[in-house]
Amino acid sequence: MTRFIFVTGGVVSSLGKGLASAALGALLQARGYKVRLRKLDPYLNVDPGTMSPYQHGEVYVTDDGAETDLDLGHYERFTGVAARKSDNITTGRIYSDVIARERRGDYLGATVQVIPHVTDAIKEFIGSDLTDEDFCICEVGGTVGDIESLPFLEAIRQFGNEVGSQRALFVHVTLVPYIPSAGELKTKPTQHSVKELLSVGIQAGILLCRSERPIPENERRKIALFCNVPQERVMAALDVPTIYQVPISYHEQGFDDQVLKYFGMPDEGEPDLSRWRDIVQRVRHPEGEVKIAVVGKYTSLLDSYKSLAEALVHGGIANNVRVRLEWMESEIFEKEGTVHELEGVHGILVPGGFGERGTEGKILAAQFARERKIPYFGICFGMQMAVIEAARHLAGVPNAGSSEFGRNQEPVVGLMTEWVRDNALEQRSAEGDLGGTMRLGAYPCQLVPGSRVAGIYGTGTIDERHRHRYEVNINYKDRLEAAGLLFSGLSPDGALPEIVEIPDHPWFIGVQFHPELKSKPFDPHPLFRDFIRAAIDQSRLV
């Protein structure tokens, strides 16, 4: 029997609902329970795939090819449970499905309304694609009181009534701010937020109160009294030095104990949190430090590279070093003489991106890393820019470019028009829709025996997640390999280049996929682990 935990937020956004959901999932796992985590997003986009990174941050891609909210990355990193298409729903997708059903005549002439048709579709999503999970944790995006989230709040209210209180718990994340001039914590925002939630028929069962300092017992008693919640279920969600300490912090507050008590489930002793304590120890007390330059296009909003930043931290955890990230906007290197700002770094990483802006800066960063023998890691767009750089300066193709930026004499990188997925041919055109039309999800890749990446992975076949429209042109393979660039990973049919490397360089690898999406603190991705190891070697030379 699956029990459902709904996580809502109030007062302000960015209180950490996603981390709270992920941490609770990790705690319940540590007690031996099977969990599933989901995100209900109120925005009207069908998915975040066409949204600007500045608007939404990173787009997290699942194995089965869904473009989802970045919180699903937190869920996977904390629990190791692979997210699926069925774990993220938006208002846009709900309305698309409802309208499609209406056009087919599924509603048999009924007037289609938010209640019951939209709320029924949301409830159907909440309870779908579940098997033997003990808990399904559903985070509701946005803030209570937003007009966009009303159908979702109504749906979870109905769902809770239908399955009963013995199977549904509402957790509300709120804010208890400290007012310096008054010298005290204020509980009124939390009271109003819980009242707002109650106005739509939802009584919070547990309150997670974000605060910059411990909440005294008197304030907790006051919150409990006004919010109709037992005092032991009013918990302080305090800032911690690393997000990987959140499960430990919430356990110390009794979060998982109270969840089990609410559902009347046996408490069979302390959960095993040893791996989280080991991770926190390595993050807070490393044996050294390396400096990695991330040369990107969206560095003014670091959530654009959330999984990437965490994967680099994981590489540091694996090597017991602190990874200090230097975020650099690629456009700055397009000014003469500025590339010297990369002097002194121990590794250079060029991440994914779209569009022509800043591309020449990324190419210069790849050239700097290649010529100075600095470890280089190119991901997706970063691989393409490294190949263009090699074509221009090693293979004698001075006009090498990408058709993404318009007509080009030497399209070393070009638009993919067809590829194979699950033994079926997928086709695209330049005139097609943008949303959901990229090469998305997990695809296999064959590694060249004896290559650096084959040694790093320790296998001949890998499976990695993709999100791109453009691909390195296989027709340039022979010329580039003759110039010293090895195509060390290819699609099984040999048509799509997946990985390139420079064998006589200390560490120079470009990958078409996004390895950061599969990295976890307790299971760092092998490419990030080895990249940081190479950066440590470089730090000894600087």
Q: What is the pLDDT of residues 213-261, one digit of tens each?
A: 899 999 999 999 999 999 999 999 999 999 999 999 999 999 999 999 9
Angle between the N-to-C axes of helices 119-126 and 150-163, in degrees from 0 to 180, rounded to the nearest 10:
60
Reference 205, options 18, 1, 6, 39; nearest CA is 6
Candidates 117, 466, 468, 514; catalytic one: 514
Query: Is 380 known to be catalytic?
Result: yes
Helix (H, G, I), strand (E, B) or coil at 534: helix
pLDDT at 14 over 80: yes
- 384 lies in a domain? yes
Mean per-residue pLDDT for 61-67?
92
CA 168 to CA 159: how far, in whole Å? 8
Q: Is 514 in the active site?
A: yes
Task: Compute the half-sphere exposure of residue 316: CA atoms within 13 Å on the CB side of its CA.
Answer: 27
pLDDT of 167 > 80? The answer is yes
**Domain range enclosing 192:** 3-279
Q: Which two tokens stand for residue 486?
A: 């090895």
325 and 241 assigned to the same domain = no
User: Does residue 105 sit in the same domain as residue 182?
Assistant: yes
pLDDT at 504 over 90: yes
Residue 525 pLDDT grade (very low, low, confident, very high; cuts 50, 70, 90): very high
| Active-site residue (options: 136, 209, 380, 445) | 380
Same domain assignment for residues 249 and 395 = no
What total number of domains does the chain contain? 2
> Could you tell me the two tokens for 479?
């010329």
Q: Indicate if 274 and 293 belong to the same structural domain.
A: no
- Among the listed residues 172, 219, 516, 525, the single catalytic one is 516
Other C-beta atoms within 10 Å of 341: how many?
A: 16
* 54: CB partners within 8 A, 6+ apart: 298, 300, 301, 304
Average pLDDT, the chain: 91
Question: What are the pLDDT digits (tens) for 92-116?
Answer: 999 999 999 999 999 888 999 999 9
Last residue of a domain, one of 261, 279, 297: 279
> Distance (Å, rounded) from C-alpha 23 to C-alpha 27?
6
Q: Where is 376: in which H helix or E strand?
A: strand 376-379
Q: Are residues 398 and 319 in the same domain?
A: yes
Answer yes or no: do 170 and 254 share one domain.
yes
Q: Are residues 228 and 363 in the same domain?
A: no
pLDDT tens across 382-406, in order? 999 999 999 999 999 888 888 877 7
Residue 419: pLDDT over 60: no
Instruction: Respond yes or no: is residue 227 known to be catalytic.
Output: no
Q: What CATH code is carried by the domain that includes residue 169?
A: 3.40.50.300
